[in-house]
Every structure is written in structure tokens, then in C-alpha cells.
Amino acid sequence: MGRQLKFKIFRFNPQNPESVPRMEVFSLDETDSMTLFIALNRIREEQDGSLQFEFCCRAGICGSCAMVINGRPGLACHTKTKDLPDEITLTPLPVFELVGDLSVDTGSWFREMYNKVESWVHTDKVFDPNAIEDPMDNAIAEEIYELDRCVECGSCVAACGTARLRDDFMGATALNRLGRFVIDPRDKRTDEQYFEVIGSDEGIFGCMGLLACEDVCPKNLPLMNQLSYLRRKMGVVALKQIFKK
């Protein structure tokens, strides 16, 4: 016989003026291989149809089901209940705008982030649709792909002490995103241009090195290595600019 799980879930609907932020308790029988995705769907189907949460792929690819699970941001679809205690507390991700209950608007935040880091390949090369694609060194392609695995769930930002203290901080996902273009040979931006984007306390120099981003990332992205690489690189750009004068 499986465990009886107790779910304490944050409830609040900002659209409803009568709604008050509160924690609600739900009980559920644990089944084999149960994930939080399964548990939340069962709660919504069997106990409370008004419960709001987000899901799309249920396979850790879309990044939409990130929430705070017993204090740690993570993907609900990736989290098995057997790895959790009998009592499970679920709250929405901080930093992002609350849609309702466990659902937050990460989309607007990420859209803003793309604009801020100019998340596209900057090149003056005219695109020729008939030409064969330029080959890329396999090692570089793999390095880029490693960073491109980010599913934009927002867990790293929600776990970041700096992002909690200052809302202009870009967060690990944005720095990782820019880092992906830094190593992409097709992007013609210079180090000085990258510095313009992340070379400040809003960017890489704001990072205090608490490493919660590294520890909560559900895709295990190499954020610690990536952030320290950018800190050194941007630090050297600043020194060069000063000593060149």
C-alpha cells in the first residue's frame, strides 16, 4: 500500500479581488512512478478543478512546470514523489509575475531577456537560401548545444539570491544565453559589444556566486563554469579598455 501524501499548495487568484493568498491542503494516495505532474493533475481532476498550474510536454523539455517544491525550484514533471517526504509544499516561482496558484508568467520575462541580451546571431553576412550551410567545428557545435539545452523554466532565477535582492539582475539563464553567442563563430559581435550587454552589476558583475542556479538547474547546465568564464572574460575586457587609454 502506497503512502498517503499531503500536499500543501499555494492558492491565490490575482484576477479575483476576493481571493486571498493562502495554503490549501490536499491528500492523495501515492501510486507507482508518480510525478508531481501526475499528482497535480489528479488533484485537479478529483478534488479541485480550479487549481492553476502549467504543463505542456510532461518530459522536462518545455520548462513550463517549474515551481518551488519543498523550498527548491524545480520541474514538477521531473520530480518523483518517491524522492519527497510525505508532506509536499508547492509554491509558485518567486521573481516572475503570478498568473494564479502555481502558475507564473515566465514568457514575458524571457521575452524581455531576449531583447536585453539581443538573443540572435549578429552577422553582416547576407543570407543565401541556395548556398550550402557553413560547416561548424563539431567540438564548438557541441559546446553551443550544451548551453542551448536551457528549457527556460526560470528555476535558476527563482533560486538566485542576487535576483531576489535586485530586480534588474539578468540571472544565470540570460548570462548563459549570451555565453552561447560568445562561442558561436557566426556571431560577429566583439568582446567589447558583449561587455556593453553584460559587463555591469546588472549582468555578470552582479553575480555573488551563491551557486543556487547551478544546484537547482533541472537540465544540469554548467552554469558555475559558464558564469566564471564570463566574469573573467568581461573582467579582462574592462582592464584592456582602461589600459589602452
Partner 1 sequence: MSFDLPVTAAKSGKTDAILDWLQMISGVALIIFVFMHMTLVSSVLINPGIMDAIAHTYEANYMAQVGGPLLFLLFLFHFYLAARKIPFRLEGQKTIWAHAKMLNHRDTWLWIVQAASAMIILIMGSIHMWAVLSDLPITAARSAARMQSGPWVYFYLLLAPLVVLHVVAGLYRIAVKWGVAKDYSREKLNKIAIGLGIAFIVIGLATIVRFMTLAV
Name the one residue in this structure whose C-alpha cell is 528555476.
155
- List binders of partner 1 among 2-31 (CB under 8 A): none
The DSSP bridge partners found for residue 121 are none
In whole angstroms, what separates CA 23 from the centre of its chain?
Answer: 25
Interaction between residue 112 and partner 1 (CB under 8 A): yes
Window of 21-29, 30-38, 40-48, 159-167 that interacts with partner 1 by CB under 8 A: 159-167
- Torsion sign (Cα): 59, 64, 68, 72: positive
Rg of the chain in Å (alpha carbons): 21
Decide whether 41 or 193 has the Cβ nearer to partner 1.
193
Tell me whether strands 103-105 and 97-100 are parallel, antiparallel or unpaired.
antiparallel
Binding mask 68-87 for partner 1 (x = CB under 8 A): x--xx---------------
* Alpha carbon distances (Å) from 123 to 12, 82, 118, 188, 202: 46, 49, 12, 5, 26
Decide whether 60 or 222 has the Cβ nearer to partner 1.
222
64 and 151 in contact (C-beta within 8 Å)? no
Closest CB 171 distance from partner 1, rounded Å: 6
Binding mask 216-235 for partner 1 (x = CB under 8 A): ------x-xx-xxx-xx-xx
Pick one of 39, 66, 153, 198: the residue that binds partner 1 (CB under 8 A): 198
Decide whether 22 or 244 has the Cβ nearer to partner 1.
244
Apex 75 CA angle, 52 and 229, nearest 5: 135
42 and 78 in contact (C-beta within 8 Å)? no
Closest CB 98 distance from partner 1, rounded Å: 12
Closest CB 231 distance from partner 1, rounded Å: 6
Residues 73-91, buried b or exposed e (16+ Cβ, 10 A)?
bbbbbbbebeebeeebbbb
Interaction between residue 34 and partner 1 (CB under 8 A): no
Window of 8-16, 33-41, 122-130, 167-175 that interacts with partner 1 by CB under 8 A: 167-175
**Interface residue list for partner 1 (CB under 8 A):** 68, 71-72, 94, 96-97, 105, 108-109, 111-113, 115-116, 118, 157, 159, 161-165, 167-171, 174, 195-203, 205-212, 214-215, 222, 224-225, 227-229, 231-232, 234-235, 237-239, 241-242
